[in-house]
């Protein structure tokens, strides 16, 4: 990649980070073109050509994504407050836009989110972010840690990855009822298959929350387990933690063969240290663990 192209992409990345940080502000073309240091007369077309959607639609989708996470995961925040955060002056205008985008009213989504149309509606946003926001990793980004064993409660998801959202919702509902808040009880995802296996029914992932001690009672699709202790190669991802596959691939494909290490007989997994909606998307942090012998 030429230096000029790298500079161009860096300027576009700067715009996306600015949008993440200022979703509550007036994100008009003039201000965003100044952030990118591009002419305001051409910036709209440049953004569209780079990301495949307009600036206006990108900002709308980013605000709707944050709003939908607030509805699903923040009971203390009212629909009116979420509507205001999404840039709407009135809840009814927000409700119309939300239903048009996701096929559910905000109140219905709060009670029982339908994640498949949600994923489809936000696909253009995630595709746009994936074009430039993935970090290039180096060996200096990887550390080796001795990790203690962690007792966890597990909700298993088996089958089509497009229905993962429903399992995540069950997981959140259960941990909330159990009083295991993300700030005090660690959150893990254990990947037991590829992110997009050839057959969707082969997709397999464990959603885990640290319990501090072995779980005494199971039920509601929750089982007790343990993330074993031992040496791990750890790669931290900051910002775009929606898709951690590039980090996992780097550890397997690039770092491991060059390191002289051998992988242990336990799947690669991640710990989500902070995530939407508790923090803005650009501040999300996840550690990816590759267990070693």
Helix axes 55-73, 115-132, angle to 10 degrees: 130
Q: Give the pLDDT of residue 2.
A: 63
Q: Give the pLDDT of residue 104.
A: 93
CATH number belonging to the domain at 3-130, selected among 1.10.10.60, 1.10.3720.10, 1.10.150.20, 3.50.50.100? 1.10.10.60
Runs of H (alpha helix) within 22-114: 29-36, 43-51, 55-73, 79-85, 91-102, 106-111
Count other C-beta atoms under 10 Å from residue 130's C-beta. Answer: 14
Q: Give the pLDDT of residue 219.
A: 67
DSSP SS3 for 271? strand
Q: What is the pLDDT along the chain (293 residues), one digit of tens a residue?
A: 468 888 888 888 889 889 988 888 889 889 999 998 888 888 999 999 998 999 999 999 999 998 998 888 777 688 999 998 888 888 899 999 999 999 999 999 988 888 778 888 988 988 888 776 667 899 999 999 999 999 999 999 999 887 887 888 788 888 888 888 888 899 999 999 988 888 989 999 999 999 988 776 666 689 999 999 999 999 999 877 878 888 999 999 999 999 999 999 999 999 999 887 777 777 889 999 999 99
Q: Give the pLDDT of residue 252.
A: 92
Q: Give the pLDDT of residue 127.
A: 83
Maximal C-alpha separation, the chain:
63
Exposure pattern of 21-59 as b/e (b: 16+ CB <10 Å)? eebeeebeeeebbebbebeeeebbebbeebbebebeebb
DSSP SS3 for 147? strand
CB 157 within 8 A of CB 207: yes
Q: In the β-sheet with 150-158, what is the strand arrangement from edge to edge?
A: 142-147, 230-238, 285-291, 269-274, 187-191, 204-210, 150-158, 222-227
| CA distances from residue 178 to 22, 149, 174, 183, 212 in whole angstroms, order as listed | 34, 21, 6, 14, 12
Quick one: which H or E segment has residue 167?
helix 164-177
Q: Give the pLDDT of residue 203.
A: 93
CB 151 within 8 A of CB 224: yes
Q: List residues bridging with 271 in a β-sheet.
A: 188, 287
CATH number belonging to the domain at 139-291, selected among 3.40.50.720, 3.90.45.10, 3.40.50.150, 3.20.80.10? 3.20.80.10
DSSP SS3 for 26? coil
Q: Where are the domains of the chain?
A: 3-130, 139-291
């Amino acid at each position: 990649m030429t230096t000029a192209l790298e500079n161009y992409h860096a300027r576009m990345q700067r715009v996306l980070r600015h949008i993440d940080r200022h979703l509550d502000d007036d994100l008009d073309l003039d201000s965003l073109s100044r952030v990118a240091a591009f002419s305001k007369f051409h910036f709209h077309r440049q953004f569209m050509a780079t990301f495949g959607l307009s600036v206006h639609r990108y900002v709308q989708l980013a605000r709707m994504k944050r709003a939908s996470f607030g509805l699903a995961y923040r009971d203390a925040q009212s629909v009116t407050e979420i509507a205001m955060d999404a840039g709407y002056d009135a809840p009814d205008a927000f409700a119309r836009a939300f239903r048009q985008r996701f096929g559910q009213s905000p109140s219905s989504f709060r009670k029982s989110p339908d994640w498949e149309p949600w994923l489809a509606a936000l696909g253009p946003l995630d595709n746009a972010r994936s074009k430039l926001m993935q970090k290039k990793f180096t060996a200096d980004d990887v550390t080796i840690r001795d990790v203690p064993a962690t007792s966890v409660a597990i909700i298993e998801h088996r089958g089509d990855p497009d229905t993962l959202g429903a399992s995540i919702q069950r997981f959140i509902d259960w941990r909330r009822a159990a009083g295991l808040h993300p700030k005090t009880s660690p959150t893990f995802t254990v990947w037991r298959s590829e992110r997009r296996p050839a057959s969707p029914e082969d997709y397999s992932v464990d959603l885990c929350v640290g319990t501090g001690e072995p779980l005494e009672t199971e039920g509601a699709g929750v089982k007790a387990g343990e993330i074993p202790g031992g040496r791990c190669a750890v790669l931290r991802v900051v910002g775009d933690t929606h898709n951690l596959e590039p980090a996992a691939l780097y550890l397997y494909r690039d770092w491991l063969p060059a390191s002289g290490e051998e992988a242990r007989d336990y799947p690669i997994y991640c710990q989500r240290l902070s995530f939407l909606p508790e923090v803005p998307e650009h501040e999300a942090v996840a550690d990816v663990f590759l267990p070693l012998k």
